[in-house]
Structure 1
Amino acid sequence: MKNYQRYTKMFSMPPVRSMDWAEKTCVEKAPVWCSVDLRDGNQALIEPMSLGQKVEFFKLLLKIGFKEIEVGFPAASETEYEFLRTLIENDLIPDDVTVQVLTQAREHIIRKTFEAIKGAKNAIVHVYNSTSVAQREQVFKKSREEILKIAVDGAKLLKKLADEAGENYRFEYSPESFTGTEPEYALEVCNAVLDVWQPTKDRKAIINIPATVENAMPHVFAQQVEYISKNLKFRGNVVLSLHPHNDRGCGVAASEMGLLAGADRVEGTLFGNGERTGNADIVTVAMNLFSQGVDPELDFSFMPEICEKYREFTQMEISPRQPYAGALVFAAFSGSHQDAIAKGMQWRRDKKCEFWTVPYLPIDPADVGREYQTDVIRINSQSGKGGVGFILQENFGVNLPPKFKEAMGYAAKDVSDKTHKELKPDEVYRVFLERFVENRPLFDVSECHFKQLAGGIEATVTVAEQGKKSVVQAVGNGRLDAVSNALKKHFGAAYTLTTYEQHSLGEQSTSKALSFVGVEGDGKTGWGAGIDEDIIQSSFEALCAALNNLFVSRGKD
């Protein structure tokens, strides 16, 4: 990698210190959001969206809550022109939504753009030209003065055409390749444009700062933005906008720091789609606000549907680790993580907590339409007792005793390890049934009859073993104790019944009883569970399963 010597810093710092943003701890309110999915995102697709897909994507953006949507570059192609005309002529743009169109600062393109937006109730005409050192020297071969004149001439034509049309269109200007432009020169160009537009409180102008190529750390971008914000003319009548790209993987961080630095607006796309490495991911920026207790003013409560439609329209995939939206971002496979989440969820229920503080989960998955049963605790060979217990309790109402969870955890891990796959909730429950409820490799109890005696209860137990049935009697201080004594007598086995718990499966009067039994002998422990309409029967079933597991672990024939 010796070629690093070919590279140098391609950015300029502001001429004055601009660090007030660094004293702030958070963004305190949502910015104005502008989706550029239908322009910047669409032009980055291998197969751009069809007209029908664009219309449906537009409706999705409306459902999410965007009030400003860039719908394309109508002078660039007939498809983009037709899309805008379809929205306008079919009255698909709500009265409180503004469509934005992009145009280069070239006369014939600007005029074509104004033809395209005719009839739009609310529109932003976004004009841009490149101002960076590299673009000035290598592409346009023009001086600073000549580049500034392009911007001013474009601004004048926008104002002239809007006045002629009798429309109060809003205007936006971008010094494209801002991050490669000297900040003081970018400011000079922006102020020259504002001098033309003379923005007012009722008709604000937008100055957009595009990190067309992200070439510096986010704190550098923040200083550049703060410098522009503090030195713009007509600042009270100007909306300062950001258009971060993600070449360094810092698009979200640059957006947040830019907002701290004084920006009022963010342009970006769902999941960061866009040219090269993409744009700022509005989903992440907005959800970061949400996670800090700030209303993002966008609705991502139906995230799975948003993801599905995004894939359908763009043919793009969403990383399983994509913040807030990826299939695995709330999933915990690690045993310690699962245990902490399970305990945290129980803490919330017990304490009726107002604020969300569950370990390992920055937000409640339910707030973005995800389900605890399938999205949070995921079971594989790395999982532990807490996760397995959580799955059984949340999905099937099985609340295992603490020590039983450990045995069940090992059983699930064993199956996952041998099959080399994740276990779905139904498969975890099947392991529970097969290992601890239905497990009868050595013997079963086919019948029990009881008689009340002066000194306790007598149990007559029929033991089915290797195709033979035997009847044995014993007395205990209760029915379960009597059955246990009968089995000790029959097998000549020494063990201790250490755990007996039960609860109902469900809240109805017809709910089944679920019993748990733990037995110990010769340093081994056997666990069993029983499910039956009758609580006494369920306890016998649990004891039988526990003894089978104990005898197998002891190698008893």
Structure 2
Amino acid sequence: MNYQKYKKFETIKLPDRTWPDNEITKAPIWTSVDLRDGNQALITPMKIEEKVMMFQLLVDMGFKEIEVGFPSSSQIEYDFLRILIDENLVPDDVTVQVLTQAREHLIRKTFESLEGLPKAIVHIYNSTSILQRDVVFHKGQDEIKKIAVEGVKLVKELAQEFKGEVLLEYSPESFTGTEVEYALEVCEAVMDEWEASSDKKVIINLPSTVEMSSPNVYADQIEWMCRNFKDRSRVIVSLHAHNDRGCGVAASELGIMAGADRVEGTLFGNGERTGNVDIITLALNMFTQGVNPELDCSKINDIKHVFEKVTKMEIPPRHPYVGQLVFTAFSGSHQDAINKGMQCYRERNAGIWEVPYLPIDPSDLGRQYEPIVRINSQSGKGGVSYVMDSMYGYHLPKGLQADFAKVIQDISEEEGEVSPERVYDTFVEQYVENNQPYKLIKQQLIDISEENEEHERKAVLILEDHGVVKEIIGYGNGPIDAVKDAFNSNGFIGSHLLDYSEHALTSGSSSKAAAYVHLRLKGSAIQEFGVGVHPNIATATIMAIVSGLNRLYQRKAGM
């Protein structure tokens, strides 16, 4: 290995640096770039419906700034943003961010895509590094700076015509490979063109586009920039670290200590090459130090499930906090120490988490510590229901426990041991997301008790039936009765309700409920279960009925 072909990264002079003595005491402004930086790094980029699913996950977690894409780069990026706007999917407290190169036709196309938004961050960039100026652009410093300033000038002109509010973000791409003095010169020119002030701040994003040095050097660069802005009050300093040296989290933590206000990153570090900084790890690192991360990671398995579903990527088993094995101890001495530590924690009721080998209480993430939960062909309904209850919060009715245990037993007899994650994924696939041939699109339950002596509820359902959208109406003395009547009286597969139950899955304003139904096919002994999960319990119930009907249909058809 010819190490002499490489040269040491040149550090900057900052002998009086202050960041080593600083502490992280509050969360930065979090900005997710999963839908742009993360998506462009996928082998199979997300489809629009998957993008919507990811966007909703990010909103549910508490992100207030979300970069949704590069709408001027492709039609799917453009169409996705239009869906978010036209279908009113962007909450009032969430600001959409869009990326564009500092090029005229791309900037104009970007503003066209934003029409109808009350507020947006327009993020423009151009590369400023020594290497790219030399081998890619063949331009000098003044020419590169002019590209940035002309881009901002056009954004300012279009922002004046735009009906909503436009916030400017500028990135000197490959900042870490740029002379700090020149990076500062370009950023100041950008802010001057924008006429930035303490009341009209500019986000200056200082990306480690390629991680080129140890994290302390990035911190020095950030502190140098923060010190030397001529008016620090008009700048929101943002970090965007990549992970080429495996130090993205460390670099970002030190960058926050060095004065940064904001962090751009992705869930679980998905991104180009070795990835972006992992916001989940960053946030939970703060959490374990007693700092409110201002992101909800309390249902980490659900977050993992959605992420893997839309990205088609698997999270490694040793990934911090979320990996399958991070709360599993194989060593006997580790198991003994953990068990004794948890026993002392419960007995002393001290309120401060201190358990050997576990820097975080797994229950804070909706997980648990177990030496290992093993499910195989010899596991009965008790083992399967234990996994679903203790790890995922589903209190399965007894009949469903037995029904689902048979499904898992069939898998284990063919494949061997079944992981808890596989148990959960199978449950969701079989009972929650079973949407063929019927798929619920929209529902409305109307109280008609004052105008109808016979019935109290009217159910209006819009659904797909074998791919054809239909509207059906039913009446009953309650929501379930009305929904069943809508199916039974409109030529759909008929059923009798044998049992129903429900419970909350999570707590808080964004809580979800699980509803379970046990149905019997009319004129038959065939029985099936359906499960619905939704923040609205009525919707969850209807989804459960539709799932159960689909299972009855598939069973009857021998599918």
1:292 aligns with 2:289: yes
Q: Distance in 2 between matches of 1:199 and 1:423?
A: 57
1:20 matched residue in structure 2: 18
Q: Distance in 2 between matches of 1:267 and 1:280?
A: 8
1:319 alignment partner, one of 300, 316, 321: 316
Contact 2:169/2:203 (8 A) holds in 1 = yes
Contact 2:220/2:258 (8 A) holds in 1 = yes
Moved more, 162-171 or 29-38: 162-171
Shift of 1:12: 3.9
What secondary structure, in the 3-state scheme, does the structure 2 residue paired with 1:241 have?
strand
Q: Distance in 2 between matches of 1:144 and 1:196?
A: 17
1:346 alignment partner, one of 332, 343, 346: 343
Contact 1:19/1:226 (8 A) holds in 2 = yes
Q: Distance in 1 between matches of 2:419 and 2:94?
A: 43
1:235 aligns with 2:232: yes
Q: Distance in 2 between matches of 1:179 and 1:143?
A: 18
Q: Distance in 1 between matches of 2:334 and 2:17?
A: 39
Contact 1:125/1:171 (8 A) holds in 2 = yes
Cα distance, 1:18–1:27 mapped onto 2, change above 3 Å? same
1:356 aligns with 2:353: yes
**What is the CA deviation profile of residues 105-137 of structure 1, one whole-angstrom value per residue up to 9, with x for unaligned ones?**
111111111111111122100000000011000
Give me the identity figure in percent. 60
Residue identity in the other structure for 1:256? E
Residue identity in the other structure for 1:205? V
1:5 matched residue in structure 2: 4
Shift of 1:234: 2.9
Residue identity in the other structure for 2:18? D
2:113 matched residue in structure 1: 116
Where does 1:271-420 land on structure 2 (aligned, <5 Å)? 271-372=268-369, 375-376=370-371
1:65 aligns with 2:62: yes
Contact 1:333/1:379 (8 A) holds in 2 = no
1:187 matched residue in structure 2: 184
Cα distance, 1:273–1:321 mapped onto 2, change above 3 Å? same
Shift of 1:336: 0.6
Cα distance, 1:229–1:308 mapped onto 2, change above 3 Å? same
Q: Distance in 1 between matches of 2:191 and 2:372?
A: 54
Contact 2:180/2:225 (8 A) holds in 1 = yes
1:39 alignment partner, one of 29, 36, 39: 36
What secondary structure, in the 3-state scheme, does the structure 2 residue paired with 1:277 have?
coil
Contact 2:338/2:356 (8 A) holds in 1 = yes
Q: Which has the larger radius of gyration?
A: 1
Contact 1:103/1:126 (8 A) holds in 2 = yes
Q: Distance in 1 between matches of 2:322 and 2:418?
A: 22
**What is the CA deviation profile of residues 191-230 of structure 1, one whole-angstrom value per residue up to 9, with x for unaligned ones?**
1111111223343210001101000000000000000111
What runs of 5+ residues in structure 1 fail to find an aligned partner?
A: 381-390, 396-420, 426-557
**What is the CA deviation profile of residues 389-418 of structure 1, one whole-angstrom value per residue up to 9, with x for unaligned ones?**
xx9xxx9xxxxxxxxxxxxxxxxxxxxxxx
What secondary structure, in the 3-state scheme, does the structure 2 residue paired with 1:124 have?
strand
Shift of 1:424: 9.7
Cα distance, 1:66–1:171 mapped onto 2, change above 3 Å? same
Residue identity in the other structure for 1:223? D
Q: Distance in 2 between matches of 1:170 and 1:113?
A: 14
Residue identity in the other structure for 1:185? Y
Q: Distance in 2 between matches of 1:323 and 1:75?
A: 35
Q: Distance in 1 between matches of 2:342 and 2:355?
A: 6
1:173 aligns with 2:198: no
Shift of 1:166: 4.3
Residue identity in the other structure for 1:160? E
Q: Distance in 2 between matches of 1:113 and 1:319?
A: 36
What secondary structure, in the 3-state scheme, does the structure 1 residue paired with 2:165 have?
coil
What secondary structure, in the 3-state scheme, does the structure 2 residue paired with 1:193 have?
helix
1:214 matched residue in structure 2: 211
Contact 2:204/2:235 (8 A) holds in 1 = yes
Residue identity in the other structure for 1:335? G
TM-score normalized by structure 2?
0.66
2:480 matched residue in structure 1: none
1:478 matched residue in structure 2: none
Q: Distance in 1 between matches of 2:68 and 2:303?
A: 19
Q: Distance in 2 between matches of 1:115 and 1:14?
A: 42
What secondary structure, in the 3-state scheme, does the structure 1 residue paired with 2:148 have?
helix
Contact 2:14/2:220 (8 A) holds in 1 = no
Q: Distance in 1 between matches of 2:262 and 2:19?
A: 16
Contact 1:159/1:197 (8 A) holds in 2 = yes
Cα distance, 1:89–1:202 mapped onto 2, change above 3 Å? farther
1:268 matched residue in structure 2: 265
Shift of 1:15: 4.7
Where does 1:459-470 land on structure 2 (aligned, <5 Å)? none
What secondary structure, in the 3-state scheme, does the structure 2 residue paired with 1:216 have?
coil
Q: Distance in 2 between matches of 1:376 and 1:280?
A: 30
2:45 alignment partner, one of 45, 48, 72: 48
Shift of 1:371: 2.5
Contact 2:117/2:164 (8 A) holds in 1 = no
Cα distance, 1:304–1:33 mapped onto 2, change above 3 Å? same
What runs of 5+ residues in structure 2 fail to find an aligned partner?
A: 376-385, 391-415, 421-559
**What is the CA deviation profile of residues 37-90 of structure 1, one whole-angstrom value per residue up to 9, with x for unaligned ones?**
000000000110000000011000001110000000000000000000110111
1:91 matched residue in structure 2: 88
Residue identity in the other structure for 1:278? G
1:151 matched residue in structure 2: 148
Cα distance, 1:183–1:66 mapped onto 2, change above 3 Å? same
Residue identity in the other structure for 2:11? M
Q: Distance in 1 between matches of 2:196 and 2:203?
A: 9
Q: Distance in 2 between matches of 1:376 and 1:152?
A: 58
Contact 2:327/2:368 (8 A) holds in 1 = no
Contact 2:116/2:164 (8 A) holds in 1 = no
What secondary structure, in the 3-state scheme, does the structure 2 residue paired with 1:19 have?
coil
What secondary structure, in the 3-state scheme, does the structure 1 residue paired with 2:30 have?
strand
